[in-house]
Amino acid sequence: MLIEFECATGRDGVIALPPDVARQLPAGAAVHVSIRWNGNDADDAWRTAGRVQFETAFAPEDSVYEQLATQVNS
């Protein structure tokens, strides 16, 4: 699952999850964090357009690797 959000760091450098994002995460879930700042608007637009195009073409039945992982772990 991918959740994106924008925020600002606190004075102590801490990044707090917005409450609506925190509610979506299972307790104790391992997460992968990528941090990007001072983005270039052209790069952001290109990245967003690419993601939309990819996600439009992706269907749940295409998730072969996820299906295999579920079968192996069962």
pLDDT (mean) for 35-40: 74
pLDDT at position 36 is 77
Q: Are 18 and 7 in contact (CB under 8 A)?
A: yes
pLDDT at position 73 is 65
C-beta neighbour count of 71 within 10 angstroms: 8
Q: Are 15 and 9 in contact (CB under 8 A)?
A: yes
User: pTM score, two decimals?
Assistant: 0.44
- Using the predicted structure, report yes or no on whether residue 39 has a pLDDT greater than 90: no
- Using the predicted structure, report yes or no on whether residue 48 has a pLDDT greater than 90: no
Find the angle CA(30)-CA(40)-CA(10) to the nearest 5 degrees: 50
